[in-house]
Chains A and B, each alone.
Chain A
Amino acid sequence: AQKITQTQPGMFVQEKEAVTLDCTYDTSDQSYGLFWYKQPSSGEMIFLIYQGSYDEQNATEGRYSLNFQKARKSANLVISASQLGDSAMYFCAMREGWGGGGNKLTFGTGTQLKVEL
């Protein structure tokens, strides 16, 4: 079974609108972390936001927020007030277990977001 599932290969949003990118995950670990990364055409991986499995509050970072629904095993990314520069590939990733940077990440297949005027 896929550990990270992103069901939207492509999404379009109008500038200044909000958009939600879906991510569901599968793990039997109690401790895990969920990440969202942005990858523009240059290829660099830009860290956006993190949610720990024990965090009770949804994570927020500026225009990014993570809608964490633990029982449903979903970790959707919400981008508010979309900008043209948000056009990129977005990846959801999971780190199972605890160990900070020493544990590998498993990535979803990504969602290509296009922001239109």
Chain B
Amino acid sequence: GAVVSQHPSRVICKSGTSVKIECRSLDFQATTMFWYRQFPKQSLMLMATSNEGSKATYEQGVEKDKFLINHASLTLSTLTVTSAHPEDSSFYICSAGGRGSSYNEQFFGPGTRLTVL
């Protein structure tokens, strides 16, 4: 299957700082990327969907000014958590989908564990 990477895998930051997480599709063109958040022992909750070259679509209840998503190319999407607070501590996972009709075109990155002190 296709490979999706995330960087960093783990980050610890102070309250009030901003953190950028990168999601890259390494061997295919990701026309759509998804960002999920997962709290311990809970399910994945979709935060937003981003299509290359256009603004992200945020799920209800997700603050677009706090979670900035950029999908400037077919291989890279970034999630920036602005003015992070301890309640933003979570596991963030991206997935990438490409063009075509194959069912398994959504591939997940390994996740980024964010801890805000």
Contact = CB atoms under 8 A, between A and B. Distances in A.
A56 interface: no
Nearest to B2: A101
B93 A45 contact: yes
Interface in B65-108: 91, 93, 95-108
Contact of B105 (A91, A101, A110): A101
A100 B43 contact: no
Q: How large is the interface on A (under 10, 10 to 19, 20 to 34, 35 or more residues)?
A: 20 to 34
Contacts of B106: 95, 101, 105
A36 B91 CA distance: 20
Interface residues of B, number: 33
Contacts, number: 74
A9 B93 CA distance: 22
Interface in A64-117: 91, 95, 98, 100-110, 112
Contacts of B34: 104-105
Contacts of A112: 41
B44 interface: yes
A102 B49 CA distance: 9
Interface SS of chain B: helix, strand, loop or mixed? strand
Nearest to A9: B41
Nearest to A55: B103
Contact of B98 (A101, A104, A107): A101
A29 interface: no
A43 B111 contact: yes
Nearest to B110: A44
Interface in B36-52: 38, 41-46, 49, 51
B101 A100 contact: yes
A12 interface: no
A45 B101 contact: no
B15 interface: no
- The 9 tightest CB contacts between A and B, nearest first, are A101-B97, A101-B105, A45-B108, A101-B106, A43-B111, A102-B32, A100-B105, A107-B43, A107-B44
